[in-house]
Amino acid sequence: MLAQTGRAERRHRLLPARLVVYYVLALALFAGVAYEEVLRCLVEALRGAVWWPNPREPWRVWRVPAKSALVQARARLGAAPLRVLFEQAARPLATEQTRGAFYRGLRLLALDGSCLDVADTPANAAAFGRPGTGRGQGVGAFPQVRLVGLAECGTHAIVGVAVGPCTTGELTLAPQVLDGLGPGTLALADRGLLAVGLWRHALATGAQLLWRAKTGTTGHALPADRVLADGSWLSRLDAGGHRRRDPRGPIVVRVLDYTIDDPGPSQRQRYRLVTSILDPAQAPAAELAALYTERWEVEGALDELKTHQRGPRAVLRSKTPQGVEQEVYAHLLVHYAIRALMHQAALDAQVDPDRLSFVRSLRVVRRQLIAQAAFSP
């Protein structure tokens, strides 16, 4: 991975590239711990490893560098090794034995986006921008980086991600993660992602789709061309307007419309879903309506990364855009590793992975770092 990205060092250093990869991952695992202390923990963890980065300087006499040296080492490493490592490692985890991961043989995946606060520096503000306030009267306190993630619903494993400024919309970033779809998958998404171009792009992967549509005047016009036996209907999805109409013609879709009775303040909420599965026998409307709740699993995965792993209302520590990207991928890798361990534990116990606590698993991994650190990135 280091050689592939051209980051392998050509001379012995106090902080060789391989050790820095471990260190950046440890920074994500111990997000609230100081730079030097994280490295001290990592050195102790590597005490029993079969390798040591510099054979001329064994760990017993190795000294922790100053914080400035650690910052420089991260800058030398860059973001590319962590990005490539995530792209190569992050794959769906669920097997046929995984409970709650499939619907009628289709692997459930979900798309969603979120933002992370980053350090308030001129470089980060220029690269990522700041969010506007609710009433458009100013800008947010911190710059933000936007993520659009593709997660496996049954395991919460994030298997694809697009990273960009907060000023770039989810619809712009989402095409970058669609390669994670394919035949044998069913992709779920919220109403903010329903656009003809993105839908067509996702269909081209061979995946089946179940996305929520807006209702009212801002939603797509979805006329009932043919009402089916389960109450759903066949319709056409197009961009609308003669200037925007796709020359390939509209896309035939199936539409489900239903209302959820909620005892809470909203009481009744209307849902409209659009799916590429046109035959009700393959996916009855009532089943799809119940299945759509799985879309919230991707929000749960992003919340695990943002709130529990990174820390509530915490700001990423990197002061440069390259450091921010490196840190984001480190957090994604740590989250994926924890979720992989949880999935294996769920298989061993023959339970749904949703029954296991991410917070408890995170604590266990942190406690066991010393025993488990000698893995190769």
pLDDT for 377: 43
> Is 374 domain-assigned?
no
Q: 302, 324, 348: which is the final residue of a domain?
A: 302
CA distance 358 to 343: 11
Question: Which residue segment(s) compose the domain that 72 sits in?
Answer: 17-77
Inter-residue contact 113 to 88 (CB < 8 Å): no
User: Do the bridges between strand 185-189 and strand 106-117 make them parallel or antiparallel, or are there none, so unpaired?
Assistant: parallel
Q: What confidence score (pLDDT) does residue 242 get?
A: 43
Residue 369 lies in a domain: no
For residue 293, tell me if it sits in a domain. yes
Buried b (16+ CB within 10 A) or exposed e, 196-219: bebbeebbeeebbbbbbbeeeeee
The burial of 153, by beta-carbon neighbours within 10 Å (0-12 exposed, 13-18 middle, 19 or more buried), is given as buried
207 membership: H or E segment, kind and range: none
How do beta strands 226-227 and 233-237 pair? antiparallel
The answer to whether residues 136 and 96 belong to one domain is yes
- Let me know if residue 359 belongs to a domain: no
Helices assigned H by DSSP within the chain = 17-29, 35-45, 67-77, 80-89, 122-128, 170-173, 196-204, 285-291, 296-303, 321-349, 358-367, 369-372
**Are 195 and 107 in the same domain?**
yes
Backbone phi, psi, residue 247, to 5° = -65, -20
Q: What's the pLDDT score for residue 231?
A: 95
Q: How does pLDDT run across 278-308, given as a tens digit for each residue?
A: 999 999 999 999 999 999 999 999 999 999 9
179 and 103 in a common domain: yes
318 found inside a domain = no
Integer angstrom CA distances of residue 107 from 179, 185, 353: 15, 4, 15
β-bridge partners, 271: 258
- Pair (96, 193) in one structural domain: yes
Note whether 64 and 149 are same-domain residues.
Answer: no
| Nearest C-alpha neighbor of 316 from the set 24, 2, 88 | 24
pTM of structure = 0.89
For residue 164, tell me if it sits in a domain: yes
Whether residues 73 and 154 fall in one domain: no
Domain boundary among 281, 302, 323: 302
Token representation of residue 214? 């807006």
Instruction: Kindly give, in sequence order, each residue whose CB lies less than 8 Å from that of residue 168, ignoring residues fewer than 6 positions away.
Output: 146
- Reported for 54-58, long-range contacts at CB under 8 A and 24+ positions apart, including other chains, are 54/12, 54/13, 54/14, 54/16, 56/12, 57/14
Pairing relationship of beta strands 185-189 and 208-212 according to DSSP bridges:
parallel
CA–CA gap between residue 274 and residue 291 (Å, rounded): 13
For residue 374, what pLDDT is reported?
42
pLDDT in 10s for each residue of the chain, 377 residues: 666 666 665 555 667 888 899 899 999 999 888 888 888 877 766 655 544 555 555 555 567 788 888 899 999 999 999 999 999 999 999 999 999 999 999 999 999 999 999 999 999 999 999 988 765 556 778 999 999 999 999 999 999 999 999 999 999 999 999 999 999 999 999 999 999 999 999 999 999 999 999 987 777 889 999 999 999 999 999 865 444 566 777 899 999 999 887 666 566 788 999 999 999 999 999 999 999 999 999 999 999 999 999 988 899 999 999 999 999 999 999 999 999 999 999 999 999 999 999 999 999 998 887 555 444 44
Say whether both 101 and 45 belong to one domain: no
- Asked if 132 and 185 sit in the same domain, the reply is yes
What confidence score (pLDDT) does residue 4 get?
67
pLDDT of residue 244: 56
| pLDDT score for 243 | 47
For residue 259, which phi and psi values (nearest 5 degrees)? Answer: -125, 135
74/21 Cα distance (integer angstroms): 8
> What pLDDT, on a 0 to 100 scale, did the predictor assign at position 169?
94
Quote the CA–CA distance of 203 and 222 in Å, as a whole number: 18
The domain boundary, picked from 258, 279, 302, lies at 302
Same domain membership, residue 235 and residue 127: yes
- Tally the domains of the chain: 2
Residue 134: the pLDDT is: 61
Together in a domain, 137 and 208: yes
Residue 60 within any structural domain of the chain? yes
Per-residue pLDDT tens digits for 255-284: 999 988 766 656 678 899 999 999 999 999
**Is residue 210 a contact partner of residue 188, using CB atoms and an 8 Å limit?**
yes
> 187 and 55 share a domain?
no
- State whether 104 and 134 are in the same domain: yes
Alpha-carbon span 356 to 341, nearest angstrom? 11
Does residue 32 sit within a domain? Answer: yes
What DSSP element (H or E) covers 184? Answer: none
